[in-house]
A and B are shown apart, each in its own frame.
Chain A
Amino acid sequence: MTLLLPLPIVIAFATAILAFFFRNGSEGRWISVIGSALMLVTGCILLSEVMANGPQAAQMGNWPAPFGITLVADTLSAVMVVITGITALAVSVYATADVTRDMEQQGYHALFQVLIAGVTGAFLTGDLFNLYVWFEVMLISSFGLLVMGGKRVQMDAGIKYVTLNLISTILFLSGIGLLYGVTGTLNLADLHHAVKLADPGLVTVIATMFLVGFGIKSAVFPLFFWLPASYHTPSFAVSAVFAGLLTKVGVYAMIRMFTLVFTQDIAWTHGLLLWIACLTMVTGVLGAAAQTDFRRVLSFHIVSQIGYMILGLALLTPLALMGAVFYLVHHIIVKANLFLVAGVANRIAGGTEIDRIGGLYKGAPFLAFLFLIPAFSLAGFPPLSGFWAKYVLVKASMDLELWIVAATALAVGLMTIYSMTKIWGRAFWKPHPAGTVPTLSSLSLGTRMAMLLPISGLALLTVLIGLFPETFVQLATTAAEELLDPTAYLAAVLGEEPA
């Protein structure tokens, strides 16, 4: 049992090492695919274990909590590990066709797997300093992936991404230092008790530091500027995994900290979060409306969608948190998929600037169909996954009679449709300015399979969540209940009997 928790992380690291040794041949990419599949399988086993027996914890090196490093999986963590596995598998299959020989030799697959290990570790850890370490693992590999290829735009993007993320790291680290000074512990479950004994004013100051640190990581208003400045520059496989997972780790950390630890002054912290959520939704979607590059439009939409997840956290009702968890899962699938579609469009139409491409509907109707599913899901059309995610959050804010918040969420959904139709109208419907018709048959069969298979798989998943939301709602509800009432989590980590 205690072996199961570190297993996804160990698999990802082992895959990284193997892939690094085989980076000169074509074996590396298949090692990466197999490793991701194995990680997904262990993630699923972990999730079924958590669903059957409640939160699971493992003490590394057999040091009892709160002294040693704890790995802990409650429903939210386990779900996030599974979704990381799904994204990793989809992107690693896509990468077999998308990533160039040069990048493979520079160790793309190894870095990618280290990134996945970092993300998984961040989801599974039950220790604050350990969380910082996983963030760093994730960050350093994402730096490498972002500038890999060495194009001039990537250097420019790299500078902004690296510097602003380092500031966030330092804020996070200072917050950890201060919190340790005040409470004398770093174990999240132990902190839950310890902050109650501390001076609430001091804890609120520290909470705000964490808020800013995680805020930069998860790209909320007004700290999101590094995201649209960098996500459109690396290779498509890289930007898909960034878009899917990286900011969501920040959101996850925020949800974890502001439900388990920082609940001493909800009026201030969560009131602030509510403002942040609304402003993030609005600025993100307005930014997207002004862009004309496929990936830049999508990047601004990430920002806008992060607002919805923060909204769920800010409202802090069971329904709202359930919505936030549902949104996290839905968003990772849909957003990664849209970036993958952008990659195919770039291949066959020769660019991502939507004014300079076109004719994709005529030449590649299947791709157009595959774009439409995640795009509509993102905008919240029934019966796709995004509809339920938005519906739950709007309902949660209406239950609290926050009419303006609910109206904002709905209006932002409408604006999302606007930018999706903009991409549709210009990149898909309008004829190609060069007079050519981009077709999928211009790609070799192997490339076509490697690119369209993951896109179709993720699109199918979106439809499935939309058509059969019950299972997923059940899971998200359990996750939300565990967040609001962490008795089982505390019992798993500290070995306390539930009162």
Chain B
Amino acid sequence: METLVALMVGALVAAAVYLMLARNVLRFLFGLILISNAANLLIFASGGLTPDSPPLIDEGAIAPAAGAANALPQALVLTAIVIGFGLFAFALVLVYRAYQTMGTLNSDDMRLAEPEERS
């Protein structure tokens, strides 16, 4: 199970890097969203994937039985997803505004904040 998820993370990262190498800023942003989901999956897998053993504590016991799933990475992933969602909502609006004001999505043409080139 872990191997499968690890391969999936690898595939996602590869696709994300491919997208992020594009000059189009929107493609870059899509790459960023993919790679952040790859990171989320990675955290999910890092706790170990143990099917059919919910992290429930038996009555009277103070710790879950051995071999129970680790619930912490899932809590971390939830936090990371929420934060990521906020950041990417902002980034998407920013790219849209940049397109409106600069009229381009090509990162090579985005040189407004750079000093003028002197020949």
- Residues on A close to B: CB < 8 A? 129, 132-133, 136, 139-140, 143-144, 147, 150, 152-160, 162-163, 166-167, 169-170, 173-174, 176-178, 180-181, 229-230, 232-233, 291-293, 296
CA distance A416 to B100 in the complex (A): 39
**Chain B hits for A152, CB < 8 A:** 101-102, 112
Query: Are A180 and B39 in contact, with the CB atoms below 8 A?
Result: no
**Chain B hits for A157, CB < 8 A:** 113
Majority SS of interface residues in chain A? helix
Closest 9 CB pairs of A and B: A181-B46, A177-B43, A156-B112, A155-B98, A157-B113, A156-B113, A153-B113, A174-B39, A177-B42
Query: Are B94 and A143 in contact, with the CB atoms below 8 A?
Result: yes
Most chain B CB within 10 A, of A156, A169, A180, A296, is at A156
Query: Are B102 and A178 in contact, with the CB atoms below 8 A?
Result: no
Of the residues B39, B48, B95, contact of A159 by C-beta under 8 Å:
B95
Do A177 and B46 contact each other (CB < 8 Å), given the known contacts A133-B83, A155-B102?
yes
CA distance A294 to B114 in the complex (A): 13
| Chain B residue with the shortest CB-CB distance to A229 | B113
Interface size class of B (residues with CB under 8 A): 35 or more
Nearest-Cβ distance from residue A318 to partner chain B, whole angstroms: 35
Query: Are B87 and A159 in contact, with the CB atoms below 8 A?
Result: no
Of the residues B35, B83, B107, B113, contact of A136 by C-beta under 8 Å:
B83
Nearest-Cβ distance from residue A495 to partner chain B, whole angstroms: 19
Within 8 A of A (CB), among B94-119: 94-95, 97-98, 101-102, 107, 110-115
Most chain B CB within 10 A, of A129, A160, A166, A230, is at A166
Query: Are B46 and A178 in contact, with the CB atoms below 8 A?
Result: yes
**Chain B hits for A155, CB < 8 A:** 94, 97-98, 101-102, 112
CA distance A73 to B18 in the complex (A): 42
| 22 chain-A/chain-B pairs, Cβ below 8 angstroms | A147-B97, A150-B97, A155-B97, A155-B98, A156-B102, A156-B110, A156-B112, A162-B90, A162-B91, A163-B91, A166-B32, A166-B36, A169-B87, A170-B32, A173-B39, A174-B39, A177-B39, A177-B42, A177-B43, A229-B114, A232-B113, A292-B115
Nearest-Cβ distance from residue A7 to partner chain B, whole angstroms: 24
Query: Are B98 and A159 in contact, with the CB atoms below 8 A?
Result: yes
Query: Are B101 and A159 in contact, with the CB atoms below 8 A?
Result: no
Do A143 and B76 contact each other (CB < 8 Å), given the known contacts A155-B102, A163-B29?
no
| Chain A residue with the shortest CB-CB distance to B107 | A159
**Chain A hits for B40, CB < 8 A:** 173
Nearest-Cβ distance from residue A468 to partner chain B, whole angstroms: 41
**Chain B hits for A296, CB < 8 A:** 115
**Chain A hits for B45, CB < 8 A:** 181
| Chain B residue with the shortest CB-CB distance to A143 | B90
**Chain B hits for A154, CB < 8 A:** 113
CA distance A291 to B114 in the complex (A): 10
CA distance A155 to B96 in the complex (A): 10
Is B73 in contact with chain A by the CB < 8 A criterion?
yes
Nearest-Cβ distance from residue A68 to partner chain B, whole angstroms: 12
Of the residues A169, A176, A230, A232, contact of B43 by C-beta under 8 Å:
A176
Is B10 in contact with chain A by the CB < 8 A criterion?
no
Query: Are B94 and A158 in contact, with the CB atoms below 8 A?
Result: yes
